[in-house]
């Protein structure tokens, strides 16, 4: 845990912000760094609040987002998403 957030999530967000900083400073506008800083602070506070009671909650949310992204066609057709731990296999009746 780093400042109340799991380290891999904190490093991922911080690394993304550090990679975007020079591009925003020189390529876009120096004021864009203020927008990036505001977004970074908001994301950090959200991650800290999310992991306040359960440190694995961010992982659960990322797995949920990944599974929902895989189910786009089924969600469009049926309006629902189904999760299963095993692949469906037709079993014999005898």
22-70 pLDDT, tens per residue?
Answer: 988 898 888 898 999 999 999 999 999 999 888 889 888 888 888 888 8
Phi and psi at residue 67, to the nearest 5°: -65, -35
Q: Domain coordinates of the chain in residue numbers?
A: 7-72
Structure tokens at 36: 């990036």
3 state SS for 7-76? HHHHHHHHHHHHHHHHHHHHHHCCCHHHHHHHHHHHHHHHHHHHCCCCCCHHHHHHHHHHHHHHCHHHHH
Q: Model's pTM, two decimal places?
A: 0.69
What pLDDT is recorded for position 89?
A: 73
Whether the pLDDT of residue 14 is over 60: the answer is: yes
Residue 1 makes CB contacts below 8 A (sequence gap 6+) with: 7, 51, 55
């Amino acid at each position: 845990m780093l400042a109340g957030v799991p380290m891999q999530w904190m490093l991922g967000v911080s690394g993304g912000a550090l990679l975007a900083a020079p591009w925003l400073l020189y390529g876009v506008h120096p004021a864009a760094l203020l927008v990036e800083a505001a977004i970074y602070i908001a994301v950090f506070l959200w991650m800290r609040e999310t992991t306040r009671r359960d440190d694995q909650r961010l992982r659960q949310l990322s797995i949920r987002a990944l599974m929902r992204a895989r189910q786009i066609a089924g969600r469009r057709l049926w309006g629902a998403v189904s999760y299963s731990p095993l692949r469906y296999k037709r079993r014999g009746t005898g």
